[in-house]
């Protein structure tokens, strides 16, 4: 797919991987919808940067884990730009909790943002993509959705991301050949929060990857760009994990 003038919705693009992805697609000439739940300032700053560089972008606030909001995001994107060609379900985040004492509400919160956001946005965008006979849905999974670390503090996140991987493969089969659905499973990607971790924790995390360093958000954005441009892949989970899985 040529990205010039295509409409790309990137959920959770006020910071981190989503921000880098929004900027990358805008540089390719795509019209970009930037989204976040709380960080409106960050989202608007991404739009300003894109516009300053000669690109086209709008910001739409929406909590994608809520059905009405995820519908509003897709509807407003269509109102602004006429269609959606690429949906990138990226909103989400890690939350640590203890398995034995965690409540159902704790699991629900993590499932809501990491899994239900992708489910709801895909439901809302698919009828239009099927009607127009083409579209792409790209999801942000995680190595935690593939690796079974047995870590009691990251269990809900791992299960949610395993759900994203299953969703990716199921939708790819359901909606091919009109909609191609793929995911990226990143390793540890450098976000400001990681800089606040104790030095020893940062060192341990980096050493889990053969690269021995953080992956940069641009390196994930680059892989999203590849998946959007390639028209022969569907149901793939692309690992951008710095060698995390090589034991």
Residue 221 binds to ligand NAP (criterion: CB under 6 A): no
**Residues binding ligand NAP: number (CB under 6 A):** 30
Q: Which residue is nearest to ligand NAP (CB)?
A: 16
Residue 145 binds to ligand NAP (criterion: CB under 6 A): no
Nearest distance from C-beta of residue 4 to ligand NAP, angstroms: 25
Subset of 167-186 contacting ligand NAP (CB under 6 A): 186
**In terms of DSSP bridges, do strands 179-186 and 56-61 run parallel, antiparallel, or are they unpaired?**
unpaired
Subset of 5-44 contacting ligand NAP (CB under 6 A): 11-18, 35-39
Looking at 57-65, 75-83, 168-176, 228-236, which segment touches ligand NAP (CB under 6 A)? Answer: 57-65
Helix axis angle, 40-52 relative to 16-27, nearest 10°?
20
C-alpha 91/C-alpha 89 separation (Å) is: 6
Of 160, 170, 138, 126, the residue nearest 240 (C-alpha): 138
Nearest distance from C-beta of residue 37 to ligand NAP, angstroms: 4
Residue 197 annotated as catalytic:
no
Residue among 59, 94, 144, 157 flagged as catalytic:
157
C-alpha 179/C-alpha 174 separation (Å) is: 9
Q: List strands edge to edge, sheet with 135-140.
A: 56-61, 31-36, 7-10, 86-89, 135-140, 179-186, 237-240
SS3 33: strand
Q: Which stretches of 11-154 are DSSP H helices?
A: 16-27, 40-52, 67-81, 104-111, 117-132
Subset of 77-136 contacting ligand NAP (CB under 6 A): 90-94, 113-114, 117
Which are the catalytic amino acids? 157
Give the residues lining the site for ligand NAP (CB under 6 A). 11-18, 35-39, 63-65, 90-94, 113-114, 117, 140, 142, 186, 188-189, 191
């Amino acid at each position: 797919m040529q990205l010039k003038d295509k409409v790309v919705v990137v959920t959770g693009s006020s910071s981190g991987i989503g921000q880098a992805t929004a900027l990358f697609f805008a540089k390719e000439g795509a019209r970009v919808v930037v989204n976040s739940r709380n960080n409106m300032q960050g989202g608007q700053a991404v739009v300003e940067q894109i516009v300053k560089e000669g690109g086209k972008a709008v910001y739409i606030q929406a909590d994608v884990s809520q059905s009405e909001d995820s519908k509003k995001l897709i509807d407003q994107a269509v109102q602004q730009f006429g269609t959606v060609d690429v949906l990138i379900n990226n909103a989400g985040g890690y939350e640590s909790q203890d398995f034995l004492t965690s409540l159902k509400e704790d699991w629900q919160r993590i499932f809501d943002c990491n899994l239900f956001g992708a489910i709801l946005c895909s439901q809302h965008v698919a009828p239009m993509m099927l009607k127009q006979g083409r579209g792409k849905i790209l999801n942000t999974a995680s190595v935690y959705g593939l690796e079974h670390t047995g870590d009691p503090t990251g269990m809900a996140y791992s299960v949610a991301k395993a759900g994203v991987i299953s969703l990716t493969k199921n939708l790819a089969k359901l909606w091919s050949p009109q909609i191609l659905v793929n995911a990226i499973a990143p390793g540890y990607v450098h976000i400001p929060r990681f800089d606040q971790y104790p030095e020893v924790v940062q060192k341990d995390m980096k050493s889990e990857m053969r690269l021995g360093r953080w992956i940069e958000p641009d390196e994930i954005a680059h892989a999203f760009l590849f998946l959007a441009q390639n028209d022969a892949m569907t149901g793939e989970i692309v690992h951008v994990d710095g060698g995390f899985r090589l034991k």
